[in-house]
Amino acid sequence: METIHDTTLRPGDRRTPPPTLSTTDFGSGPRLVALDIDGTLLRTGQPPSAQVIAAVRGVVDAGHNVVLATGRSLAGALPVVKRLGLRAGWVVCSNGAVVARVTHRRGLTVEQTLTFDPVLVLQRAMATFPDVYLAVEDVGRGWNVNVRFPDGLLNGRQHVVRRERDLWEAPVVRAALHATDIGPLATDLGWLAVTATPAGPHWVDVTPVGISKATSLEKIRLALGLARGATWAVGDGANDADMLRWAGTGIAMGHAGDDLKALADDVTGTIEDDGVVPILRQVVAW
């Protein structure tokens, strides 16, 4: 069963009224700029470039709202918040299952968690792929795993549980499945009332049913009182598809798959070109 904790987002000391602008009216006011992390702001395992950092700060300095929207865990997102020098705003983690506020000390305070019971998902993965790596997120700390994942695959601390059933003794915000050619299992897992998203042929992310980066970004948009047309989003992966559809302006990175490019409003350069930079400069200049 899905559990929702603390779902009221607080943009400040006073409540912002709901938006009244047309969703096609870009206007000249503040915008919400949703940015994927891996493959968009940085190459996985590397810090963001100086050009990307400067472009993100330029958007913030212009009065716009930068929201990091990532499949990373909360623990994995925090170093990027610090690298970018963000001192306020929101971070959407775990493909939408976790929303946190950025504090003045560049820390993260959890505002929302959405959970599900992972037992059927994990048992199905083990039955189909006996050597599967299993992980469930321990929000703010890292992951509980059945065996230690190879370096670079998970962000944050890994705690190996004594018994596999310890992984499903409580609801979780996200599960990660890693095995050779496990990607197609995502289709079957959808029948278990979860959101299962393949990230390449050997990885599946599982979150509560109906949850995506877009669903949490929509709550933030409403909290800020912005029109849908005042939203921009940039991403490169399958887990960014709903976010790009949701945004008033959805931008695919140049190295993204053809399916993502087809649904985007525009396509920018690749991660090797720091393709997000001209988009961020365009937001400032609009």
Structure confidence by residue, pLDDT tens digits, 138-158: 998 899 999 999 998 998 899
CB 87 within 8 A of CB 44: no
DSSP string, 59-85: HHHTT-EEEEE-SS-HHHHHHHHHHHT
Going by C-beta distance under 8 Å and a sequence separation of 6 or more, which residues neighbour residue 275?
A: 253, 254, 268, 269
For residue 82, give both structure tokens. Answer: 């610090």
Going by C-beta distance under 8 Å and a sequence separation of 6 or more, which residues neighbour residue 90?
A: 9, 65, 67, 68, 99, 100, 101, 102, 111, 220
For residue 187, the model assigns a pLDDT of 95
Domain 28-114+211-285, classified CATH 2.10.109.10, yes or no: no
Report the share of the chain in percent with pLDDT over 90: 83
Q: Which helix (H) or strand (E) holds 135?
A: strand 133-138
For residue 28, the model assigns a pLDDT of 60
pLDDT band at residue 128, thresholds of 50, 70 and 90? very high
pLDDT band at residue 229, thresholds of 50, 70 and 90? very high
Domain boundaries, the chain: 28-114+211-285, 115-208
Using one digit for the tens of pLDDT, what is the confidence trace for 53-72?
999 999 999 999 999 999 99
Cα separation, 208 vs 147, in Å, equals 23
CB 114 within 8 A of CB 92: no
The predicted model gives 226-249 an average pLDDT of 96
Polymer length of the chain: 286
DSSP state of 214: H
Which fold is adopted by the domain 115-208? 3.30.1240
